[in-house]
Amino acid sequence: MRQKVGITRALIDLHRYYLQNNKFDEGDLIYYRINYRLVALFGITKEEAQRFHAAYHSEIPRTIAEGYCHICDAVVKIIPILYGSSERERELLEMAQNEGKLIIASLDSNAIKEGVKIPLYGCKNCKAALPRYGTMP
């Protein structure tokens, strides 16, 4: 029981820390990072950390960034667009893309040149770029 109280307190603190800049966006990377911290702090298994975290979110729903997509004509979950990767990373990133966790953009086009702003996020449904939610020069 004592450990459960400690883990609950840690979950509250970890969410406050990791979501301080955007309390409305606990995407997969942050979700799993919190789980890994629970494993490290309490010496529990990944499965136990997952169960504690899931129980936490049964009372406090997890939020993931959303935005409006003109193509889908709806509010959708937004996911990061990744520009370029090493060959070593490619296989893992393609698996993440297949699961709808990111979009891998092609670097072959002339779209990435000096002065051109490229979108950082895209629509999880149709994979269209959503520059309104952030660009990179």
78, 17: one domain: no
132, 71: one domain: yes
Q: Which residues pair with 83 in a beta bridge?
A: 105
pLDDT the model gives residue 68:
92
51, 25: one domain: yes
72, 130: one domain: yes
**Tokens found for residue 101:** 């966790």
Q: How many domains does the chain have?
A: 2
pLDDT the model gives residue 112:
62
Residue 95, C-beta contacts closer than 8 angstroms, at least 6 positions apart: none
119, 80: one domain: yes
Residue carrying the six token digits 């959503």: 130
How confident is the prediction along the chain (137 residues), in pLDDT tens digits per residue?
678 889 999 999 999 998 887 777 787 778 889 999 999 999 999 999 999 999 999 998 888 888 899 999 999 988 888 877 777 777 878 888 888 877 777 655 555 667 778 888 899 999 998 988 878 77
pLDDT the model gives residue 52:
95
30, 75: one domain: no
The H or E element spanning position 96 is helix 87-98
54, 107: one domain: no
The residue range of the domain holding 25 is 2-59
